[in-house]
Copies of this chain bind each other. A is one copy, B any other.
Amino acid sequence: MEIIQTIAGLLEAVRRNKPIVHHITNYVTVNDCANIALAVGASPIMADELEEMNDIVSIASALVINIGTLNRRTIESMVAAGKRANERGIPVVLDPVGAGASGLRNAAVERLLSEVKIGVLRGNLSEIRFAAGLESLTKGVDASEADLARNEETAQQVAERAATKLGCIVALTGAIDVISDGKRTLHIHNGVPQLSGVTGTGCMCSTLIGAFCGAKQEGDLLLAAAAGVAAMGIAGELAAEAAEGKGSGSFHIAIIDAVSRMDSELLASRAVIEAAAL
C-alpha cells in the first residue's frame, strides 16, 4: 500500500534529518514528549518564554503547541511562536488539551485557530468537536462518555467537518483514529485500550506528529499525521505485550522503548490504515 510505504519512509527521514521540534507544552507530560521525540529520532526543544520564541522557532523544523497547563503568559508565547512558524513556513501542530473544559481554554483555542495557520489539529472527539465549534459534552480532559457513545461514523463526520471548517488536517484519536483533510480521510486501526491508562499518550502522539511533519520540507501533512498516529498506536501494542501482567507504570516505559526500537519495516508491517469510503 502506497500510504504505508510513504509513512515508513517518513520514519527514515526523521532518523536521517533529526528535525528540531519546538514544544510549548504542559508540565505534566513534557518529559515523555521530549523522550518520545528523541526515541523517534527528532531533537526536542521545550521553551515557553515569549521573548525567546522568535529565536527558538527560527531554528526549528516544526512547532507543537499543547495547551495542557496553559496560562496567560504562555498563551502569548504560543501565539507568537505560531506566527513565527507561519512566517517560516514550518508546520504547526495544535493539541487543544481539555478544550471545552474552561472558558480560558476555549478562548485560547479560538485565538490560536484564528491567528495561526495550524497544520495539524490533534485531539480526542470532544476536543475536536469543540475546536471546530460543533456541539460537545466535555468531561474534563478526556473525551466525554456521551461523545464516545456515538458511533464511529460520527468520529469520521466530526473529523471531516472540522478539517473542512478549519482548513487543516484533523487527527481525531480514540478507539479508532480518524485523520482527515476534509477530502481524504484515513482510519487507523492500531492502538490498545491501555493507552488511556497513562497520562500524556495524546500529547506524545502530537509530538510524534510534529516529528513526522518536520522530517521533510513540503511533505504531505495528512500522511505525517497518519504516521504519528500509527507509530503511537503500534508503540501501544508493543508496550502492551512487553508490559503484560505488570501494570501501567511498566506500560508507560515500554511505550518509549517501543518507539526507540521502531524501524521503518516494523512500522510498515504493523500499521493498519485504510482510506475511508466517502
- Given contact pairs A20-B140, A46-B68, A71-B48, A31 touches B29 in the complex (Cβ within 8 A): yes
- Are B28 and A51 in touch, CB under 8 angstroms? no
- Given contact pairs A38-B248, A55-B102, A104-B55, A49 touches B31 in the complex (Cβ within 8 A): no
Contact for A28 among B46, B139, B199, B254, CB less than 8 A:
B46
A232: which B residues are within 8 A, CB to CB? none
- Are B261 and A257 in touch, CB under 8 angstroms? no
Closest to A41 in B: B197
Closest to A60 in B: B140
Contact for A27 among B30, B52, B55, B200, CB less than 8 A:
B30
- Are A47 and B69 in touch, CB under 8 angstroms? yes
For A, the interface residue count at a CB cutoff of 8 angstroms equals 60
A35 to B255, CA, bound (A): 14
Q: Which chain A residues have a beta carbon within 8 Å of chain B's beta carbons?
A: 20, 26-32, 34-35, 38-39, 43-49, 51-52, 55-56, 59-60, 68-73, 98, 101-105, 139-142, 197-200, 246-250, 252-261
- Are A35 and B102 in touch, CB under 8 angstroms? no
Q: Nearest Cβ distance between residue A147 and chain B, in whole angstroms?
A: 14
A61 to B47, CA, bound (A): 29
How many monomers of this chain does the complex have? 3
Contact for A49 among B49, B72, B141, CB less than 8 A:
B72
- Are B52 and A102 in touch, CB under 8 angstroms? yes
Count chain B CB atoms within 10 A of each CB in A105, A142, A253 and give the residue with the most: A253
A139: which B residues are within 8 A, CB to CB? 20, 43, 59
Closest to A142 in B: B43
A246: which B residues are within 8 A, CB to CB? 257
- Are A104 and B69 in touch, CB under 8 angstroms? no
Contact for A105 among B27, B52, B141, B199, CB less than 8 A:
B52
- Are A59 and B253 in touch, CB under 8 angstroms? no
- Are B247 and A197 in touch, CB under 8 angstroms? no
Q: List 18 A–B pairs whose Cβ atoms lie within 8 Å, in order of A's numbering.
A: A29-B34, A35-B198, A39-B247, A39-B249, A43-B141, A46-B68, A46-B69, A47-B102, A48-B71, A51-B103, A52-B104, A52-B105, A55-B104, A71-B73, A247-B257, A252-B253, A252-B256, A253-B253
